[in-house]
Amino acid sequence: MDRSHRATILLEEAEIIAHERFAADQFVLRLTAPACAKRASPGQFAHLMVDSLCPLRRPISIMRAAPDAGWVDFLYKIVGEGTRLLARRRVGERVDLLGPIGVAFEFQAKRALLIGGGVGMPPMIFAADALRSGEIQPFVVLGSEVPFPFDPQPSQFLLPGLPEGVIATMPLLEDWGIPCRLASLQGYAGCHQGYVTDLARHWLEALSAAERTEVGIYACGPHPMLQAVVRLARAFDLPCQVSLEEFMACAVGGCAGCVVEVHTADGPTMQRVCVDGPVFDGYQVF
């Protein structure tokens, strides 16, 4: 993985220009942050000062970045005091932002299977945006056990091999011309009633042997989901990159509070998710 990102972390005073609430305490936050927007790549995150009452920043994955317009989007869910304080912030207020941080995804396969679960969806949406004007063909699988932070709609893309009735997609991806399907165990209409990996397996099995050799898997979500994604990748002998979600204090490599064990050709090493990741080769961490 490329480590040149370590010299590109910038500090900006960003203005909140939109802050929308969705079901299950989920929020989409849009900030004016021109420097971050210009440099951000899928898989990277920003470290936000959520409130003056909370001295420690919060790491949040970047969901979209508009270099020309100068804004970045974040999807987050209230899970503790920091995100609760962030949810109270209003349009027009300013948020101290440090970013973009971390190793981004490297897209080399001809077909990209993008799998996102819960608050792991944002990097996959960012990846789909980055790939939609290129030669790599993305297929996106998103999963959630709470209502999705958007209104699912039926997709116009016909995808052979998927279970009957699995037609729900994210409207934004549909507008971009990117095929997507949704998965959940909660019985949501049009969604696959199962795990994201089950749905991804159906898609992979519908490909020809030659088509499968062109696929690379990219994923972000909770650790059990990522473990299942890597098992799926092993079953089909496919390259796999995963973006890890870890608690962070400094997020710039100083405190080593987010280290994980990574297996390399030279043996196991402890690497920091913030600056050595968050994107790793899936086989090396699972």
39 plus 143 within the same structural domain:
no
The enclosing domain of 183 has a CATH number of 3.40.50.80
148 plus 31 within the same structural domain:
no
25 plus 149 within the same structural domain:
no
Amino acid letter, residue 132: R
Classify residue 174 by burial, with Cβ atoms within 10 Å: 0-12, 13-18, 19+.
middle
123 plus 180 within the same structural domain:
yes
59 plus 156 within the same structural domain:
no
pLDDT of residue 53: 84
Residue 224 is assigned to a structural domain of this protein: yes
pTM to 2 decimal places: 0.94
What percentage of the chain has pLDDT greater than the value 90?
A: 87
32 plus 56 within the same structural domain:
yes
The last residue of one of the domains, among 38, 66, 101, is: 101
Taking residues 72-77, what's their average pLDDT? 97
pLDDT digits (tens, 9 = 90+) for 181-225: 999 999 999 999 999 999 999 999 999 999 999 999 999 999 999
150 plus 93 within the same structural domain:
no
- Band (144; pLDDT cuts 50, 70, 90): very high
How would you classify the pairing of strands 71-77 and 58-66? antiparallel
pLDDT of residue 7: 60
Tokens of 128: 């789909």
pLDDT digits (tens, 9 = 90+) for 17-68: 999 999 999 999 999 999 999 999 999 999 999 998 888 899 999 999 999 9
CA–CA gap between residue 65 and residue 37 (Å, rounded): 5
Q: Which residue has the tokens 């979209």?
A: 64
Decide: 140 and 170 in contact? Cβ < 8 Å: yes
173 plus 211 within the same structural domain:
yes
**Tally of structural domains, the chain:** 2
CA–CA gap between residue 204 and residue 211 (Å, rounded): 9
The answer, yes or no, to whether residue 5 has pLDDT greater than 60, is no
Residue 15 is assigned to a structural domain of this protein: yes
- Band (252; pLDDT cuts 50, 70, 90): confident
pLDDT of residue 1: 46
Q: Which domain holds residue 219?
A: 111-245
pLDDT of residue 256: 84
Residue 280 is assigned to a structural domain of this protein: no
